[in-house]
Amino acid sequence: MERTLIIVKPDGVQRGLVGEVLRRFETRGLRVAALRLIRIDRDLAARHYAVHQGKPFYHGLVAYITSGPVAVAAIEGPDAIQVVRRMVGATRSNEAAPGTIRGDYALTVGRNIIHASDAPETAAFEVDLYFAPSDLHAYERATDPWVFPN
Ligand code: IDP
Ligand code: MG
């Protein structure tokens, strides 16, 4: 089992896509461990996107991610990190494959709907950035054995 972090970015919230995005993960069989609607401030944005500091798009990215409420979720399941990244699609939405979230709902890199952790280390760091341990629910759904038998 793996856990990853996704954020429906301000454009996704404004366009009414929170439910659609979560539906895709749930119907794939992934489980929501934690869920919040929050406004990211500049300090949190700087910590989240520290790896991008100094890049030409950094200031625009911080302005974008702080521009309105976002829906943040911790999502879990077998190989959740890579499974979710593949469902999200390419960073440059114009190059994202149809059937991916960006490929179905976005057109540009600057408004690409969703964030998802890209590796085990970033997933652990990002889940910890947005959720306290007590926010993360450990539970089993009746359907889980039908999706990932052990
Ligand atoms: P990712 O979100 O697919 O992991 P990253 O390369 O980590 O992509 O970039 C983080 C975010 O920064 C992207 O999702 C996008 O919002 C923004 N971004 C990346 N490259 C550009 C760019 O060239 N122009 C504008 N925004 C960008
Ligand atoms: Mg990234």
- Is residue 147 situated within a structural domain? no
C-alpha 141 to ligand 2 mean position (Å): 30
79-to-3, 76, 84, 86, 95 alpha-carbon distances in Å: 8, 8, 8, 11, 24
Stated as kind and residue range, the H or E segment containing 45 is helix 42-48
Q: Sorting pLDDT into bands at 50, 70 and 90, what band is 122? A: very high
Q: Which residues pair with 7 in a beta bridge?
A: 72, 115
Q: 0.95 cut: is pTM over it?
A: yes
Please state the rounded mean pLDDT for residues 114-139. Answer: 98
**Ligand with the closest atom to the CA of 62:** 1
Are 75 and 33 spatial neighbours (Cβ–Cβ below 8 Å)? yes
For the stretch 80-106, pLDDT in tens is 999 999 999 999 999 999 999 999 999
Structure letter (DSSP) for residue 116:
E
Are 116 and 70 spatial neighbours (Cβ–Cβ below 8 Å)? no
Residues with catalytic function: 115
C-alpha 23 to ligand 1 mean position (Å): 24
For the stretch 39-65, pLDDT in tens is 999 999 999 999 999 999 999 999 999
- Looking at the structure of the chain, the number of domains it has is 1
- Is residue 140 situated within a structural domain? no
- Is residue 141 situated within a structural domain? no
Range of the domain at 88: 2-134
Task: Say what the alpha-carbon torsion angle 117, 123, 126, 127 is, to the nearest 10 degrees.
Answer: 120
